[in-house]
Amino acid sequence: MNREAQREERAQRLATLDMQYKKDIENAIFRVEKEEVQERYLEQRKAINEEYQSIIGGTSYSDRLNRKIERAERREEMTDKNIKIYERICQNSVDGKTKTIKKSEKQNLHVGKLRGGKVLIAGIITVVVTAASVPAINVAKNPAILSENPVVQNLQKKKQINSDFEAAVKEYDVSQKLEDKNFKDLNGYIGTKDENELSKLAGIDLVMLKIYKRSLAAEYLEFMGVPGSDWEERSNNFANSQGSPDWKTYEKETKENFAIEYRAEQNTIAKGNAQ
């Protein structure tokens, strides 16, 4: 089954599930029953997504984006290599002198070797022509055309946006803003109260506040030695160790506040160091 078919199958299964979910919710009269329906629905959606991700080999958005960029860069490298072959064939064929051979000196290549050779050369010629034909046969004369490829440009733009965004988050410095607004002693507040409320009280952008909270939780899990190479892996590993299928479910179930715990640990360490 190809990717498109897998995508369609997944979309169909999700659509059926969504429809069933709406019906079940309508039928669920009591609150508890509604929660059970919601839980079952989320589990099923997660299972479908996991199955799909395992087929397409994707995990997070950034992983998928990086893989796309790698593939595009690889394509660009390959195109570059094929254009060099094109130039070599062109030079071999156009330059040089006439060579005359006596017919009596002809020999034949072994038929098996020839068959393999024909397939190989046909493949090379196809990729060379394709590379050199995008967008015109004489692209070799203008390699800049490659960097104008819209797919490559679009991916590079997304990569740039991500990196700009990371820089903006760093520059925004929520921690400093909390201090400036006299929330210095209330850093724990960030997890205990509603984010919307704190955002209004401290005059801090809500998205930045959420990112800050997440970064504190990430630092905490790292500090606790939870295994994983990044936040996603580490948080899911932690959730699994607590018997939850993933971080989101765990957070929802427990309302655990890692920001507070982390700050408390840091304060204890700071106090210990000061003494």
Partner 1 sequence: MNELHTGELFNLDNFEYVIIDELEIDNNEYALLANVDDEEDIIIQKIEEDEENISFLPISSQEEFDKILIAFEKHMTNNVEA
Binding site for partner 1 (CB under 8 A): 85-86, 88-90, 92-109, 111, 114, 117-122, 124-126, 128-129, 132-133, 137-138
Residues 211 and 199: beta-carbon distance below 8 Å: no
> Of 250, 236, 226, which is closest to residue 59 (Cα–Cα)?
236
- Annotate 67-105 with b (16+ C-beta within 10 A) or e (fewer): eeeeebeeeeeebeebbeebeeeeeeeeeeeeeeeeeee
DSSP 179-192: HHTT-GGGTTHHHH
Residue 151 CB, nearest approach to partner 1 (Å): 23
> Of 155, 202, 196, which is closest to residue 175 (Cα–Cα)?
202
In this complex, which beta carbon is closest to partner 1, that of residue 103 or of residue 271?
103
Residue 163 CB, nearest approach to partner 1 (Å): 38
Residues 6+ apart with CB under 8 A from 47: none
Cα–Cα distance for residue pair 163/249, rounded to 1 Å: 29
Residues 198 and 204: beta-carbon distance below 8 Å: yes
Residues 189 and 202: beta-carbon distance below 8 Å: no
Residue 108 CB, nearest approach to partner 1 (Å): 5
**Which two tokens mark 216?**
């504190």
In this complex, which beta carbon is closest to partner 1, that of residue 82 or of residue 236?
82
Residue 141 CB, nearest approach to partner 1 (Å): 9
In this complex, which beta carbon is closest to partner 1, that of residue 118 or of residue 157?
118
Residue 81 CB, nearest approach to partner 1 (Å): 9
In this complex, which beta carbon is closest to partner 1, that of residue 104 or of residue 182?
104
In this complex, which beta carbon is closest to partner 1, that of residue 118 or of residue 252?
118
Cα–Cα distance for residue pair 78/174, rounded to 1 Å: 44
In this complex, which beta carbon is closest to partner 1, that of residue 121 or of residue 207?
121
Residues 151 and 70: beta-carbon distance below 8 Å: no
Residue 136 CB, nearest approach to partner 1 (Å): 9
In this complex, which beta carbon is closest to partner 1, that of residue 125 or of residue 161?
125
Residue 116 CB, nearest approach to partner 1 (Å): 10
Work out the number of other CB atoms within 10 angstroms of the CB of residue 184. Answer: 10
